A and B are shown apart, each in its own frame.
Chain A
Amino acid sequence: MLFLALDSSATASVALGRIEGDQLTLLAHRATEDTRSHAEVMSPFVAEVLAEAGVSGGDLDAVLTGTGPGPFTGLRAGIVTARALAVTWDLPLYGMMSLTALAEAAHSAARDAGQQRFLVASDARRREVYSAVYELTETGYSLVQGPTVGPAAEAPALPAYGFGTSLYPQDLDAQPGFESMQPGASHLLRAAARLGADALSADTSALYLRESDAKVPAVRKKSGS
Chain B
Amino acid sequence: MTKANTEPLVLGIESSCDETGIGIVRGSTLLTNTVASSMEEHVRFGGVIPEIASRAHLDAFIPALKQALDEAGVTLDEVDAIAVTAGPGLAGALMVGVSAAKALAVATGKPLYGINHLVAHVGVGLLDDCGIEGHSADFLDGLPREGLGALLVSGGHTEILAVRDITGDVELLGATLDDAAGEAYDKVARLLGLPYPGGPAIDKAAREGDGSVFAFPRGLSTRKFMGAAEEPGPHRYDFSFSGLKTAVARVVEGFEARGEEVPVADVAASFQEAVVDVITKKAMLACTERGIKTLLLGGGVAANSRLRELTAQRCAEHGIKLVIPQLSLCTDNGAMVAALGARLVVEGRKPSGSDFTADSSLPVTTISV
Write the residues of chain A forming the contact surface with B, with a CB cutoff of 8 angstroms. 37-44, 46-47, 57, 72-73, 76-85, 87-89, 206, 208, 212-217, 220, 222-225
In the bound complex, do residue A206 and residue B55 qualify as a contact, i.e. CB atoms below 8 Å apart?
yes
Q: Does B259 contact A (CB under 8 A)?
A: yes
Task: Report B180-193 CB contacts with A as 1/0, cut-off 8 Å.
Answer: 00000000001101
For A6, the closest partner residue in chain B by CB is B103
Smallest CB-CB separation from B103: which chain A residue?
Answer: A84
Which residues of chain B come closer than 8 Å to A214, judged between CB atoms? 45, 49, 51-52
Known A-B contacts A43-B354, A76-B54, A83-B61; A222 and B99 likewise in contact (beta carbons under 8 Å):
no
For A84, the closest partner residue in chain B by CB is B103
Q: How far is the CB of B202 from chain A (nearest CB, A)?
A: 16
When distances are taken between beta carbons in the complex, the residues of chain B under 8 Å from A213 are: 51
Other-chain contact of B355, A41, A83, A84, A215 (Cβ < 8 Å): A41
**How many positions in chain B have a CB within 8 Å of any CB in the partner chain?**
44
Question: Given A42-B99, A212-B55, A214-B49: A87 and B92 within 8 A (CB)?
Answer: no
**Which residues of B are in contact with A by a Cβ distance under 8 Å?**
44-46, 49, 51-52, 54-55, 57-58, 61-62, 65-66, 76, 91-92, 95-96, 98-100, 102-108, 190-191, 193, 252-254, 256-259, 354-358
Check B51–A80 contact: CB distance below 8 A. Answer: no
Contact B257 A223 (CB under 8 A): yes
A87–B100 Cα gap in the complex (Å)? 11
Question: Do A80 and B96 have beta carbons less than 8 Å apart?
Answer: yes
Q: Which residues of A contact B76 (CB under 8 A)?
A: 88
> Is there contact, CB below 8 Å, between A39 and B358?
yes
Give the CA-CA distance A87 to B107 in the complex, in Å. Answer: 9
Would A216 and B45 count as touching, CB distance under 8 A?
A: yes
Q: A72-B54, A224-B257 are in contact. Are A217 and B99 (CB under 8 A)?
A: no
A42 and B51 contact, CB distance less than 8 A: no
Instruction: Give complex CA distance A42, B354 in Å.
Output: 9
**Which label, helix, strand, loop or mixed, suits the secondary structure of the A interface?**
helix
Bound CA–CA A43/B91 (angstroms): 18
Contact check, B51 vs A217: say whether CB atoms are below 8 A apart: no
- A87's partner among B46, B57, B62, B355 (CB-CB below 8 A) is B62
Asked if A84 contacts B55 (CB within 8 A), the reply is: no
Q: List 17 A-B contacts (CB under 8 A).
A: A39-B95, A41-B355, A43-B106, A44-B106, A44-B354, A46-B107, A57-B107, A76-B57, A76-B96, A77-B96, A81-B99, A83-B103, A88-B107, A206-B55, A217-B45, A223-B252, A224-B257
Minimum CB–CB distance from B70 to chain A (whole Å) comes to 12
On chain B, the residues within 8 Å of A41 by CB distance are 355
Among residues of B, the one whose C-beta sits closest to the C-beta of A75 is B58
Residues of A within 8 A of B107 (CB): 46, 57, 84-85, 88-89
Known: A43-B354, A47-B106, A81-B99. A76 touches B58 (CB 8 A): yes
| Residue of A with least CB distance to B112 | A43
In the bound complex, what is the Cα–Cα distance between A38 and B91 (angstroms)? Answer: 13
Complex contact B54–A73 (CB within 8 A): yes
Contact between B95 and A73, CB atoms less than 8 A apart:
yes
Contact B106 A46 (CB under 8 A): yes
B100 contacts across to A, CB distance below 8 A = 80-81, 83-84
User: Chain B residues near A81 (CB, 8 Å)?
Assistant: 99-100, 102-103
The listed residue with most B CB atoms (<10 A of its CB), out of A37, A76, A85, A206, is A76
Given the contacts A42-B99, A43-B105, A212-B51, A84 and B253 also touching, CB distance less than 8 Å: no
**Closest 9 A/B residue pairs (Cβ):** A212-B51, A84-B103, A43-B102, A88-B107, A224-B257, A223-B253, A214-B49, A39-B95, A77-B99
**Complex CA–CA separation, A73 to B92 (angstroms):** 6
Contact indicator B357/A39 (Cβ below 8 Å): yes
Please tell me if the beta carbons of A42 and B102 are within 8 angstroms of each other in the complex.
yes
CA distance A214 to B38 in the complex (A): 15
* A residues less than 8 Å from B96 (CB atoms): 76-77, 80
- Provide the residues of chain A in CB contact with B105, threshold 8 Å: 43
Cα distance A41–B98 in the bound complex, in angstroms: 11
> CA of A70 to CA of B359 in the docked complex: distance in angstroms?
22
